[in-house]
Amino acid sequence: MRKRVYIAYTGGTIGMTLSKEGYSPAPGYLKMQMENILELKSGMMPEYTINEYNPLLDSANMTPDKWAAIAQDIADNYHDYDGFVVLHGTDTMAYTASALSFMLEGLNKPVIITGSQIPICEIRNDARGNLITAILIAGNYNIPEVCLYFGDRLLRGNRTVKISADELDAFDSPNYSPLGTVGVDIKINWDLMHWDNKEKITIHEFAQHSIGTLRLFPGIRADVVENILKPPLEGIVIETYGVGNIPDQNEALIAVLQKACAQGLVIVACTQCLRGTVDLGAYKAGSILEKVGVISGFDMTTEAALTKMYYLFSRGYNVHEIRRLMQVNIAGELTPRLKKKI
């Protein structure tokens, strides 16, 4: 029997057409285009069902409640299909891939998120190849993860970042090797998989919480940071320099961070660098963060740290437990670290 794949079409460039205002989603258009792709009718391809969301979204409009809708859509159809493809815009694709990895606990079927940089309506496009290959992988490979497929590489969803606005290799997994590569053959790196041994799938929706991100820059004012860290903010990911450094000579800034941590704000330090990990003990300019209560995000992407924070707050954990679990690998989002002996 042919495998069956469920396609959740949320929107994005892949199915857009050109209007007077630029590219925009067009209801029914992608389905029509797919009916004309002969490869999708091949007996070697899985059968597919496509659910076109209403309204279709430019991914700039993606929100946590829409992540929950995607997760629930997958759960509702989980037992009827061998794999799932989520068609999504590229702007927030890495956020959605990270969020779904935490929302879909007990996943043991592939969920492949893909899209394109050029719409399928254009003669030269990357939409066709991404779509066909994502369906093939979802139907024929028992990958137990939320993945992102783009530019001939299959990446772990919660390890991805968008690195280019106009290149076809738009995504990278800077701190984790690809789960698969596509050339003449499709090669899956099974030893890199994150296996979840739970017997059934469980959906964890994200509740409404005040969470944010802040990127440090030379000359950042302590009063600006203080205003950002005020209630009702509950948690924030700070993008620090290098391996977790901040301007440690800025005593006012240190005092603001210390006060916020003491009042129960969860602050996680990630790096502004594309590759590498936060090590708060490497330099004096980073160790001060650990002393005032800031948590290391190790080698998590900002997208993964942010969505993980949503997940932990939504599970109802207290602040102490959230700080602890932010440093624990839950869904393959970070590389476990051994504490250094001094």
Pairing state between β 161-162 and 171-172: antiparallel
pLDDT at residue number 219: 96
In the structure encoding, which two tokens stand for residue 240, read together? 């620090």
Residue 143 inside a domain? The answer is yes
Residues 6+ apart with CB under 8 A from 243: 271, 276, 277, 278, 279, 280, 282, 283, 286
State which amino acid sits at residue 1. Answer: M
Return the DSSP state at 332.
S
Going by C-alpha positions, the residue among 52, 139, 46 that lies closest to residue 87 is: 52
Same domain, 66 and 176: yes
Same domain for 134 and 47? Answer: yes
- pLDDT value of position 342: 38
Burial code (b: 16+ CB inside 10 Å, e: under 16) for 2-17 equals: ebbbbbbbbbbbbbbe
Whether 44 and 159 share a structural domain: yes
227 shares its domain with 197: no
Q: Verify whether residue 13 is a known catalytic residue.
A: yes
**Run of H or E including 322:** helix 319-325
Q: Which residues of the chain have pLDDT under 50?
A: 339-342
Q: Are residues 160 and 264 in the same domain?
A: no
Domain boundary among 203, 227, 259: 203
Q: And the tokens for 291?
A: 């002393």
Q: Are residues 296 and 252 in the same domain?
A: yes
Angstrom distance (rounded) from CA 171 to CA 155: 9
Domain extent for 42: 4-203
Which of 319, 313, 308, 317 lies closest to 262 in space, CA to CA?
Answer: 319
Q: Would you state the pLDDT for residue 340?
A: 45
90's tokens: 């590229």
Using the structure block, give the residue that is written with the tokens 């941590």. 261
Mean pLDDT of the residues in the chain:
95
Q: Are residues 186 and 122 in the same domain?
A: yes
Give the Cα separation of 277 and 339 in Å (integer).
14
**Cα distance between residue 193 and residue 51, in whole Å:** 28
Identify whether residues 47 and 92 lie together within a single domain: yes
Task: Tell me which of 10, 13, 277, 307 is the catalytic residue.
Answer: 13
**Which DSSP symbol is given to 255?**
H
Tokens of 99: 């969020």
Q: How far is CA 226 from each of CA 119, 230, 231, 302, 323, rounded to the nearest angstrom?
A: 43, 6, 10, 21, 20
pTM over the 0.75 mark? yes
Of 187, 203, 219, at which residue does a domain stop?
203
* CATH number reported for the structural domain that contains residue 250 in this entry: 3.40.50.40
Q: Which domain CATH number covers 47?
A: 3.40.50.1170
Dist. CA 197–CA 57, nearest whole Å: 34
The rounded distance, in Å, linking the Cα atoms of 336 and 342 is 19
pLDDT digits (tens, 9 = 90+) for 309-331: 999 999 999 999 999 999 999 99
Sign of CA dihedral 253, 259, 265, 271: positive
Question: Per the structure, how many domains does the chain have?
Answer: 2
C-alpha dist (Å) from residue 18 to 23, 120, 178? 4, 11, 33
Residue at a domain's end among 186, 203, 220: 203
Is the separation of the CB atoms in 12 and 58 below 8 Å?
yes
Q: What is the pLDDT of residues 198-257, one digit of tens each?
A: 879 999 999 999 999 999 999 999 999 999 999 999 999 999 999 999 999 999 999 999
